[in-house]
Structure 1
Amino acid sequence: MDIGINEQDRQDIAHGLSRLLADTYTLYLKTHNFHWNVTGPMFNTLHLMFETQYNELSLAVDLIAERIRALGHFAPGSYADYAKLTAIAEANGVPKAEDMLAQLVDGHEILCRTARSIFPLAERAADEPTADLLTQRLQVHEKTAWMLRSMLDK
C-alpha cells in the first residue's frame, strides 16, 4: 500500500481513530439508551433530541471505521474491543434526566479530547483526510456539548 503515508504513521493514526470509534460507539449506545428510558417533564424534548444525536453518532461510526480501513487497518467492531478502547463510562441503571444530560456532556467532551489527541499524528503524516474528519467531529461534539450544557444551565 502506497498512499503517501508510511506504515508506522498509518498504524498510529488507525489506533487513534480506533479509540475515537470506540468512544463514538459507546456514546451512541448511551444516547440511544437514554432516548429509550428518559422520563420526566422534559420527556418529549429530550426523547427527540437524543434521537437526533444518536442518529448523527450512528453515521459517524461508519465514517470513522471507513477511514481506518482506507488507512489499511481493520476497524474494531465488538463490545469487547470498544470496552478496552473507550474512555466513556457506561451508565449505571437509569439516571434521572438531568444526570443523563450531564453524562452526555461528559461523553461529548471526552470525544473532543480524543479527537484532538489524534491531530498531531495526522499532521505529522500530512494526513489531510483524517484531519478533516477530526475537524468535522470536533465541530459536532463541541456544539452538542454546548447545547446539552445549556439545558443544565451551566
Structure 2
Amino acid sequence: MQSLIGISAENREVVAHQLAKLLADEFVLYTKTLNAHWNLEGMDFHSVHLYFEELYKQSAEIVDSVAERIRQLDHYAPATLKNFLQLTHLTEQDESGNDSRSQIKKLLGDHESIIEFIRGNIDEFADAHKDAGTSDFITGLMETHEKIAWMLRAHLK
C-alpha cells in the first residue's frame, strides 16, 4: 500500500537513509554503554555502574524510536550488526581503560558525535525534504544527547 503522508517517496528515501545512519550510531553507542556498564572497575564502581545502567536503558529506547521512525516513513530499519558497522560514524570500543574517567570520555565523545550528525540534518529534513516530523523528532533526540553529554562532562570536572 502506498504511503500518503505528504512527503514524496524520494524525500522519504533520503531521510530514511540518514535515519539508518543515526540508528547505526545509536546501536553502536548502546553497545558501548553496555560495555562500560559491564566492565567498569574502580573505587566509584557502584555509583557509576548504576549510572551506566540508566544510560544503556535510555539508549535502548532511543534505538527503538529511531527504528520505528524509519518504519513510519515506509522503509525498513537496518537490523544486523554488519549493517550497523557499515553505516555508523562511530568506532567500536577499544579495550583501553575500564576506569570511570576513561569510559565516560569515550561515551562523551560518541554523544557529541551524534549531536553533530543530528544537528547537520535538522534543517535539511525540514527544508530540503519537507519532513518537519522527522526534523522535530531528531531535534528531541539531540536535546536528549545534549543533556547526557552535559552530565558526562560534569563527571570529568
> Would you call these one fold, judging by a TM-score over 0.5?
yes
Which stretch shifts more, 91-100 or 48-57?
A: 91-100
Q: Which residue, 66, 69, 82 being the options, matches 2:68? A: 66
Aligned to 2:149: 145
Q: What are the superposed Cα offsets for residues 39-79 of structure 1, whole Å, 9 maximum, x if unpaired?
A: 00110111011100000010111110111011111100111
Find 1:135's aligned residue among 116, 122, 139.
139
Q: How does the TM-score come out when normalised to structure 1?
A: 0.94
Provide the alpha-carbon RMSD of the alignment.
Answer: 1.2
Specify the alignment match of 1:119 in structure 2.
122
- Secondary structure of the residue aligned to 1:140 is helix
CA distance in 2, matches of 1:114, 1:38: 28
| Offset of residue 120 of structure 1 | 2.9
Give the fraction of aligned pairs with identical amino acids, expressed as a percent: 37
Unaligned runs of 5+ residues in structure 2 are none
Compute the TM-score of the two structures, normalised by the length of structure 2.
0.93
Residue 95 of structure 1: how far off its partner (Å): 1.9
1:73-101 CA deviation, whole Å, 9 max, x = no partner? 11001111010111111112252321111
The 5 A counterparts of 1:1-154 are: 1-97=3-99, 98-124=101-127, 125-153=129-157
Deviates more, 1:17-26 or 1:116-125: 116-125
SS in 1 for 2:153: helix
CA contact (8 A) 1:112 1:142 kept: yes
Q: What 5-or-longer segments of structure 1 have no aligned partner?
A: none
